[in-house]
Structure 1
Amino acid sequence: RGLTVVYPGCEQGFLAPLPVRKMSGVGAVAERELISHGVRTLGDLALADESLLRRIFGKNAIVMRTRAQGGDMTPVEEGEAAKSVSNEMTFAKDLTSRVDVEAAIATMAAKVGRRLRKKGLAGRTLSLKLRFGDRSVRSVQKRLPAPSDDELAFTPLLYRMVDEVWCEGIPVRLLGVGMSGFREDEYVQDTLFDVAREAPTTLDAEPVIVDDVKRRGLLDATDALRDRFGEGAVRFGHELRNAENTTGTGAKNPDDYK
């Protein structure tokens, strides 16, 4: 299935029979030079004379030998904290009706909320992005009254925000939702979308389910089902409305935070 597990202590035995070209950093020229000196496998490279390796790899000679032996001299560094969590989708057929646009907003918001909860994050800056049929882009951001990872609470806010950048009938090609401001000193997310309209005023709207306990209970239940049976185990009606109208090129910012 494209997965190989090399257990601790077995690195050298796994690498030794592989041809030298299999290792990153060994190009065609280096391969020819190594083979001309009888170095055909990574096992040979691990035992090769240092002067030969320096002639071929220069200052990287020791690094290449160490890698052939199954080691790595690169220090382990902790990744940067998350700055934003977002998700967007391109549609095969432009959306023009309010009901379709709201369904798309709810679908993207649900994906963002799910990712926020999985990472233990809650943000205060909510973002909405639209790309229209003419390829122009508009986006808007709002400051939430409190950090949130609850799409059932912030989706109605997005419904109000869309009125600032879109009118029914204008073709929407792409739609994205994002959340940032995970630290108290973060007010406006400045790299998530192509165009940003700063809107520092707090936006308020009634959640989909007003009761906080019931709303969190629903989110916990759906998260548990998806964790056990997969992301498609539970789907809301709004997710089905545009399910067949996508290009298959949804995008989200990289999960490079730890």
Structure 2
Amino acid sequence: MVKIATVIVLTYLATHLQVAALTQPATLPTTAPTTRPAATHDPAPTPGDALQRWWQAMAIGDEKAFSRRVVFRSATGYCNIYARWVFASARLHEAAMKHKLKRERGVRGAKWSPDVSLSPGLAPAPPSERSAPHVLDEIRKIEWTIAGDMATPMNSPFSSSEHGKVTAERVDGGWVIALSDPDDKANATELNRFVQEFTAITDAIETAIDRVNAGEFLSVRQVNDFLQDAFEKVKVERKQG
């Protein structure tokens, strides 16, 4: 069961750049991640350490630490908006809990109910804290191939997934995580469309956060209805485009 749970968490992490709380309660960021490399980096002594520290920054929602432990090498901006979407989703989950949005009883057997859970169009809420030690164990097992100032993980789920391609880059005498456009995406046109659509979606999520904090949305259903309208608009624009 532990192995299965670990695989699930790692798959989740590789897909969503979203992680469990590690050594303290999650304090989610209040602003979206920067789309430029941080002015001052916080490099680690090895690529493996860089991956762990990057993971830990995500785990506790420390955006400042995250921005110092990653560089974006995404020509299309794909990785930047994906990270922004994940952080925005996390902040909306946190706002819903903080303000105790009203939740109705769901339909038995339903995979998702708009009256119970926030939209599946968000990045999922973090896994439980109990998963953290198992994920760290798996991260420590990752082997790296180093070529000059670039290091590539050889046996991990981070090679290339929806969040982008994960490598490590030598910066300021140490290592930080580098995120670049995923290898398995069809072409730049597809990535550019993704960036445009996810920018609109993330803008809607951040607007929803503001309205929850302002007391305008009092229930999960109100948030989901607002987001659904935004998502439908994106779909319509895609068809028209």
TM over 0.5: no
Structure number with greater CO (CA < 8 Å, separation at least 6) is: 2
Q: Which has the higher strand share?
A: 1
Bigger CA radius of gyration:
1
Q: TM-score, normalised by structure 1?
A: 0.25
